Amino acid sequence: MLRENLQRLTVAFQPIVSTSSGQIFAHEVLVRGHEAMGYRSVGEILRASHDSGLLSELEALVRRKALRMLPPAAADGSRVLSFNLDHRIADAWSVLSGIGAGDPGKDGVRVVTEITSMPACADAAARVRLLKRGGAMLALDRFGVTADGLEMLHEVEPDFIKIDRSFIQGIEANARKRVVLAQLIGVAHTLGVQVIAVGIENAQQLRICRDLGCDLVQGFFVQAPIADARRASLSFPHVAMCDSFTDRRKKDQEWVLERLDTAPAIPSDMPMREVFGRFASNASASFLPVVDGAGRPLGILCESSLKNYAYSPFGKDLIANKQIGRKITDFVVRCPVIDLATPFDQMLAIFSATDHADGILITTDMVYRGFLSAHSLIRAVHEKNLDRAREENPLTRLAGNAAINEYIAGRIADGEGAFLAYIDFDNFKPFNDTYGFRQGDRAILLFAELCRKASRPESWFLGHIGGDDFFIGIRGVSATEGVAEVSKLIGRFTSDIESFYDPETRLRGFITAEDREGRTKTFPLLSASAVLCQLNPGVSCPTIDEISGAIAACKKQAKASPGKLAFAKLDEIAERVSA
């Protein structure tokens, strides 16, 4: 009875999309129709099929149904379908993974096989690696929550990891999740594995995943699953990075492209005799990039790996023999694979974390673009350090005015919003005049250090405008949360700076000094005030000049406010409300 009912199941297609271009990479095939059979979830029908010995039949049925109703082909004529494969039926894996895999044929279909866990058998890792035979790609599903996820990452050399949706849900308001996700992405990229974020439900989640380095995204914000494959979209403009590139990121891309080695890659099915010919024709080449049939980089083939064959009397003939020889994929070495749109600092971090890497493979929409050598990357570290030193404030080593303006321009361009704070000291001149410039510099350094301690690198931007003026930008917080953070920082500074005064002055609570007109007056102890403003997501923002004007107009109000805060409403520039 269950076998007959399984025929009533249908399939749906959900897109997996590039975060940089918004172009389709694959469609995941999902089971639908279980409710009509009396099952509350797909998991229930999978358990029932397994208990009845029909799970292999169900898996094969889903694949065949999907292959009969294909979505439109991408611009290059290819289609990629992603299927889940249950680890409980490892004995049938070879047959199931062969349905549609490795046989692009007239429809140009390529297959991604998704698994969640290792099968319970002695040769588990070998069985998983065999899934990639014939051209299929391998993805580790629900990565981060399964017990053997990290083991599989280094044992079976997957092409992708799919970050479980539990890491994505609420990430816009959870700094710990952002830290964990950044680490998972870094590990994957270091091993040459690309990252898919699952369960994207809003623009903020998409932006965070993209900024942290996710290569692909999937979820209802991208598109809900659709039953009619013929209506499947191939382009998703709302996912594309579009104008969110800042000047710095554009400069990073230009720098990479100028230094990119665009030597042609070799296909993974190239005969070994031709590989030897490639090395012989280019004596300076110590390795060759290797790509699959769709142009996706698999790694590099090092000449040193072939020396034992190249220099032995019968080595070349032996390795080229189709019956007993070996293939290119037997010699491929994994190295980091990074999209051209990735910020250059992230590229350097990934390269630095990889032992003995010859460089990194650069892609555009997951297709090989070129190779960035270790020499170029090491040179870049030096150039970047020089640029950063020129842009930083020499006293505090915080970002200077150029970087601050770039940050604000980026937040205006990407439309994702941010909380901004312009902070300056109150009564700094009399403090400087009384205690000297060295003590004044120490006060500035104190505030800079307090900012560093309070900040979270993944969401805060710290800048030093000059003198006693500072800038803070925070992404992913509400106005209420931003006010609380800045108020706490100002309170800490007001408390800590008291130690810079002599005991008598601290007890008295003021100092006597001359004002700017030369008149002797009393001044309260040093403190700080802030003008705050919120760039709301999706709302048309003013220009940098308008923001600066609104801030300047609120400075006196902030200093006079009991809480030392004033709020500039950017959607109503003329209205200024004291905090």
Backbone φ and ψ for 307, nearest 5 degrees, come out as: -60, -40
Whole-model pTM: value is: 0.74
How far apart CA 391 and CA 43 sit, in angstroms, is 55
Distance CA 111, CA 102 (A): 8
Band (pLDDT 50/70/90 cuts) for residue 406 is confident
* pLDDT surpasses 80 at 244: no
| 330-350 confidence digits (pLDDT tens) | 899 989 999 998 888 788 888
**Where does the pLDDT of residue 262 fall: very low under 50, low under 70, confident under 90, or very high at 90 and above?**
very high
- What is the model's pLDDT at position 438? 93
Q: In this structure, what token pair is assigned to residue 568?
A: 């500039």
Structure tokens at 393: 């404030």
Whole-number pLDDT of residue 457: 78
Three-state SS at 521: strand
The predicted pLDDT at position 243 comes to 44
Provide mean pLDDT across the span 87-104. 73
Task: In whole angstroms, give the CA distance from residue 520 to residue 85.
Answer: 82
Q: Give the percent of the chain with pLDDT over 70.
A: 91
Q: Is the pLDDT of residue 474 over 60?
A: yes
Share of the chain above pLDDT 90, in %: 52
> Which residues does 108 contact at the CB level (< 8 Å), separation at least 6?
73, 77, 78, 79
Q: Could you tell me which residue, 450 or 157, shows the higher pLDDT? A: 450
Provide the pLDDT confidence category of residue 416 given band limits of 50, 70 and 90: low
Residue 526 has pLDDT above 90, yes or no: yes
Q: Which of 69-73, 99-103, 115-119, 515-519 has the lowest mean pLDDT?
A: 99-103
Asked whether the predicted pLDDT for residue 106 surpasses 50, the reply is no
Q: What is the dihedral of CA 534, 536, 540, 541, to 10 degrees?
A: 20
pLDDT 10s digits, 219-235: 999 999 999 998 999 99
How confident is the prediction for the chain on average, in pLDDT?
87
The pLDDT value recorded for residue 43 is 93
Between CA 27 and CA 5 the distance in angstroms is 25
The per-residue pLDDT for 443 is 96
Least trusted range by pLDDT, from 38-47, 305-314, 358-367? 305-314
Q: Which has the minimum average pLDDT: 90-94, 165-169, 441-445?
A: 90-94
Pairing of strands 216-218, 10-18: antiparallel
- Predicted confidence at residue 313, as pLDDT, reads 61
Q: Does position 105 have pLDDT exceeding 50, yes or no?
A: no
What's the pLDDT score for residue 247?
59
Question: In Å, how far are 65, 102, 386, 393, 407 from 400, measured between CA atoms?
Answer: 59, 54, 14, 5, 11
323 versus 532: which is more confidently predicted?
Answer: 532
DSSP 25-51: EEEEEEEE-TGGGT-SSHHHHHHHHHH
Over the stretch 248-258, which tens digit does the pLDDT of each residue have? Answer: 677 788 889 98
- What's the CA gap between 531 and 550, in Å, rounded? 9
Rounded average pLDDT over 357-362: 91
Strand order in the sheet with 337-339: 337-339, 359-364, 367-373
Top-confidence range, 271-285, 310-324, 382-396: 271-285
pLDDT at 577: 35
The label of the residue with tokens 């062969």 reads 98
| Residue 92 reports pLDDT greater than 90 | no
Report the b/e string of 269-304 with b at 16+ CB within 10 A. ebebeebbebbeeeeeeebbbbbbebbbbbbbbbbe
Q: What is the mean pLDDT of residues 149-155?
A: 90
Give the amino acid at 226: I
CA-wise closest residue to 157 among 135, 139, 184? 139
Band (pLDDT 50/70/90 cuts) for residue 103 is very low
Q: 387: how many CB neighbours lie within 10 A of its CB?
A: 12
Which one is predicted more confidently, 246 or 413? 413
What pLDDT score was predicted for residue 571? 57
Q: With 90 as the cut, is the pLDDT of residue 63 above it?
A: yes
Which single residue is written with the structure tokens 């640029």? 387
C-alpha count within 13 angstroms, C-beta hemisphere, residue 178: 22
